Chain A
Amino acid sequence: MCVKPVPMALALDADSGRLDRSGGSLLTGVDESAVESALRVRDECGGEVVVLAMVPEAAAEALRPALAMGADRAVVVTGAALEGADLLVTSEVLAAAVRRLEADLVILGASSGDGAGALLWSALGERLGLPVLSRAVEVTVAGGRLSATRQTETGVHAAETSLPAVLALSGEVCLPRYPTFRDVIAAKKKTVEVLTPESLGLAGADLGTSGSRTRVLAAAPAPARGPAELVEDDGHAHERVVDFLVERRLV
């Protein structure tokens, strides 16, 4: 199962225009919910849950809560060569890691809390040549098959596929479990396996910024919010609020 720890403070590096990932990172609710889904599949069908992430080494600690929840082990792919990797590179690296792990089911959250691309699962399925079930809100694994209820713009669909497969969940689909104190201590003792691109046979490949097809042309901090407008309610405040929303085409 793949997760993406997100920096606690979202700030752009002024030179590269990329997100500064040097500080602490956290798993988002979407990822925690995906971990929970993976644990439920394992508890039902057996096997093991491996948490996989491509992150700078400093962010590897962010996988610890997933281990406390009950994931069997964690693997990070890290290396200076991966800095600045875009979707194509990331999917290539993760696909290599998934092949190494010989996963039967690859689970991802809908999108990350920083980039919010919501495409990685699709690219990963393509690279692995596996069927992809996306936007899943309910998941069942039985008899070597994956079935899911999908929530889309047009309604709720039931879909089914053979394993191995890639599964992308739709947001926070279930409540993550609380670990016990014992679980937390045990998780702190688990080692997080560190893989490098070289160890995955990607040595010499174009990775990181150089291999990415996406270029950051410019990045600037969001403009200051500006003073808030406070509307005093003289009995007509609701009209002002409605006008405000209509002006901005928000309703």
Chain B
Amino acid sequence: MGETTTGPDFPTLFSPLRIRGVEVRNRVVFQPHFNALGDVHGMPTEDLTAYLEERAWGGAGLIVDGSMATMPEGQMSRKYLAAWDPRAVPLNRRTTDAVHAHGATIFAQLNHGGHTSLEHPPPVLWAPTQMPEPSSPHTTRAMDRGDMVRAIEGFAVSTRNLVAAGYDGVEIKIAHDGLLRSFASPFFNRRTDAYGGSFENRMRFPLECVAAVRENLPEDLPLGIRICLHEYTPFGYELDYGLRMAEHLEASGLVDYFNCDAGSFSSFWMEIPPAAVAQGYFRPLNQALKKQSDLPIVAFGRIKDGGLAEHMLATGEADLVGMARQLIADPETPRKLAEGRAVEVRACIGCNDGCLHAVAQEKPIRCVQNPAAGQELLWSERLLVRAAEPRTVVVIGGGPAGLKVAEIAARRGHRVTLFERSEHLGGQLRLAARQPHHEEVAEVTHYLEAAVRRLGVELWTGVEATADDLLELEPDVVVVATGSQPNLPPEHRQSHTDPDAGALARARGLQVLPEVPGLELGCVYSVDEVLGGAELPGDRVLVVDGQGHWEAAGTAEFLADAGKQVTVISSRPVVAGELEGTNIAMFLQRVAAKGIALRPLTTLLRIEPGRARVVDGVTGVEQWLDVDVVVPVHSRRSREDLYHRLCDLVAESDREVRVERIGDASAARLIQTVLLEAHQVAVTV
């Protein structure tokens, strides 16, 4: 069941590896990560079991479940799995059985949260020395010996529970968060007793915890360490110290493998690096540890490409390759690589919008590329059933929503025809991919386009469908996925090239235009015009961020890179405030470097040629800003007129045609939402 064959293109990736007494079928590791699929008492849910089972089914060799907390005081979030609690044992057994059934190996990772916390932290945080983690508002309690004894006992109890639940090994986290790294760290550990002061003393408590785990593990089960090799902070340790930690741990003889890691909560964009960090950026860290260690090494850090993974293994820079987000985006990645179907792999785009952004708020994990992530029981592609009666499905619009509905409907056996009015598929993603550091967003379209072509969807590009003639195609279902357009007045220049597709909706009171005087002026440029390559007059550009996501922020960067003097205003307290944490952190670093001026709590009142009137949201003081170009980014308007005309025609006719609107044609939203919506519609067709 679920056995993957040896992939001739990836011989090393698909060779087995023995770690202590356990054989792992291939070198692909589903890295441990907080997925918020525990319940509010830290018990694993059925969703969690299904989430991990899906990756085992997809061909991963080793799955590392967790992190799991070793005691209540170490539970960073309510939903952080409670390994110490015996009630979790049968629930974890359900997971290990499900994973084993597909031939994969499953370890669990143990962590004490220490000075780091997520939503709903424990009442008090523990640390070697009293101080908050610099990115955190919570200070800590300095542990005494009694606390240490209890913490060590927590590791021991938890290990026994994990063994009872059927895990094949245990990994201990001395990594980007948690108590054990804070003990090892010269910055966080200022103790003068036997647990601080010298390197050996700082490593003493982590080693006592490691020993407690080893003592409670059966002889043949491996013990690994997830180790932060470089903290990437101005005050923290760097690679040489991380390597020294690893050397010391290895010398204890208690460790069977290392799983590489970097960053800390104060540099969390290096823990879970977004697309702005190059793929394979951390390879020198993996290589350095591999060079000094005799143990198997798991590589980490934005590895999503099978070719790169094979190369890293074949050249000996690691023994296993960790993938978390790539397997969230496409659980079947290993199986596809092994079966010579690498072209079918759906790549992670490194956006962090579905995964990290959700779990940081204690919401269940999701994925932009994979609508089923974290809700496999509802939407897994394994649940797709062939339609009893193939129907004729016509999709209008070849953006992400239209392509997704076409893909899923075609997989279910329907006859699908898709019309796209432009000469290329991809919709707004083609523009979004032109923003700096956003090339990978195009992989959403690459995957979908390849999929619909493979599935034999009849594609017409450069063909604009009209409501009047549509029923002549005798469709059973029409899905309107015509997208959205910048909501500018019809008198604005954009109407010449992108005709107003909301006039009918406005006449019926279903849409309104924004009430800012001057939006029709020639100095106003839409984001679509800017990213489409319009030649802008002058150098001074005002970007109005009414939406908080990349549409404004990325366009501001695009303009700054083109040499413009860019100011971004937002009515809200933070410009680009809807961005995920690692993304906004790195965006703000680049804003400084690119000389972009940010003015939060500032609202646009009106535009005149050469200037814009704004008001300060705190003081109420109004001011003219001298600008050559204004780029307003407020809610886009749905291109919904075709939908309304079609509904009218169907009502007048005697035909039974189901008409759906999805994606931005329904309401302008982020890709993740519209892909799930498209999937949901397609399974009901």
Contact = CB atoms under 8 A, between A and B. Distances in A.
B454 A224 contact: no
B613 interface: no
Interface stretch (B179-187, B247-255, B430-438, B462-470): B462-470
A182 interface: yes
Contact of A226 (B8, B465, B469): B8
Interface in A164-200: 178-182, 184-185, 188-189
B340 A181 contact: no
B468 to A, nearest CB: 9
B8 A179 contact: no
B10 interface: yes
B311 A230 contact: yes
B9 A23 contact: no
Contact of B307 (A9, A189, A230): A230
Interface in B313-346: 314, 340
B11 A227 contact: yes
A8 interface: yes
Interface string B656-677: 0000000000000000000000
B278 interface: no
Contacts of A226: 8-9
Contacts of A230: 307-308, 311
Given A227-B310, A230-B307, A23 B464 contact: no
A181 B469 contact: yes
A185 B472 contact: yes
Nearest to B310: A227
A246 interface: no
B307 A228 contact: yes
Given A8-B454, A181-B464, A181-B465, A227 B314 contact: yes
A123 to B, nearest CB: 32
B305 to A, nearest CB: 10
Interface string B194-229: 000000000000000000000000000000000000
B456 interface: yes
A24 interface: yes
Interface residues of A, number: 21
A67 to B, nearest CB: 13
Given A185-B472, A226-B8, A227-B11, A180 B311 contact: no
B498 interface: no
Interface string B434-467: 0000000000000000000110100011111110
B423 interface: yes
B456 A185 contact: no
A188 B12 CA distance: 50
Contacts of B466: 181
B257 interface: no
A225 interface: yes
B9 A185 contact: no
Nearest to A176: B462
B9 A184 contact: no
A184 B456 contact: no
Nearest to A179: B463
Contacts of B472: 185, 189
B84 interface: no
B464 to A, nearest CB: 6
B10 A227 contact: yes
B419 interface: yes
Contacts of A179: 460, 462-463
A132 B362 CA distance: 73
A88 B313 CA distance: 52
A180 B466 CA distance: 10
B383 interface: no
Contacts of A225: 8-9
Contacts of A228: 9, 307, 310-311
A224 B340 contact: yes
A76 B453 CA distance: 24
Given A24-B456, A178-B423, A182-B469, 8 more contacts: A180-B463, A181-B465, A184-B419, A189-B472, A224-B8, A225-B8, A228-B307, A229-B311
30 contacts: A8-B453, A8-B454, A8-B456, A9-B454, A23-B456, A24-B456, A68-B460, A178-B462, A179-B463, A181-B419, A181-B465, A181-B469, A182-B469, A184-B460, A184-B463, A185-B473, A188-B473, A224-B340, A225-B9, A227-B10, A227-B12, A227-B310, A227-B311, A227-B314, A228-B9, A228-B311, A229-B311, A230-B307, A230-B308, A230-B311
- Nearest 10 Cβ contacts at the A-B interface: A224-B8, A178-B462, A230-B311, A24-B456, A185-B472, A228-B307, A181-B465, A227-B310, A225-B9, A185-B469
